[in-house]
Structure 1
């Protein structure tokens, strides 16, 4: 179960990046147009990535509810976000064999956060190349 969710969220993340790149290309066309400020691009990209992370946490929460591990949506989403960010407050915990599923989610959250950081860095790096090229 954990590996399946891992794969689905990675694919969703990559698809989200692709969609975000298409939106950024439409919003900030490159050729023959003035380049937007880096801040404007990050203001568009960062909340979009945060929404993507929330959607992925919601998917894990839906699985927790669907399997009967957690009973209400608010608790499941809260647990999912706390687990994905590896904050792990410990006020909501899974027991028995489900603890391993939470560990998979924590690993998944770390990887997704790393991918998001790399994506934002790639935007920054591309912006820097364009600034240096165009003066």
Structure 2
């Protein structure tokens, strides 16, 4: 695969991943008031924030996992990686920017792999912002009675 093709494929996968991540978060937002209502703050003062934060983490883990699976399938398709397990491992290590270096792609897929790392950086930043937003909404309720 040529450089231009790799750039186009990487850009497409990055765009798809970002949309999946943002879409997953956006679709989860209406669930927070419903979940908060299930755990009445007067009856369950400590359980409500745990439930809300746990749900937020579940949403993010789901979004990241779906993206890693997408990258895994792409790497399996465009490289000579032997199987899905190896491809998933490579995608996870690249997406998290850990990069062990025990699996190295040839020149036909290196540029695509850099887009995988960029996707991880971008979506982990979005995840951090989302968690901070959830925490800022949950924590004032937790400390309200402690003053």
TM-score range, shorter chain: 0.7 to 0.9
| Match of residue 104 from structure 2 | 93
Larger radius of gyration: 2
| Match of residue 113 from structure 1 | 124
| Match of residue 41 from structure 1 | 52
* Greater relative contact order, per chain length (Cα 8 Å cut-off, separation 6+): 2
Measured after TM superposition, the shift of residue 129 of structure 1 is 4.8
Q: TM-score, normalised by structure 2?
A: 0.79
| Match of residue 21 from structure 1 | 29
| Match of residue 52 from structure 1 | 63
| Match of residue 6 from structure 2 | none
| Match of residue 14 from structure 2 | 6
Moved over 6 A (4+): none
Measured after TM superposition, the shift of residue 118 of structure 1 is 0.5
Name which of 116, 127, 131 aligns with 2:138. 127
**Secondary structure at the residue paired with 2:106?**
coil
Q: TM-score, normalised by structure 1?
A: 0.85
Corresponding pairs, count: 132
CA RMSD of the aligned region, Å?
2.1
Q: Please state if 1:83 is matched with 2:94.
A: yes
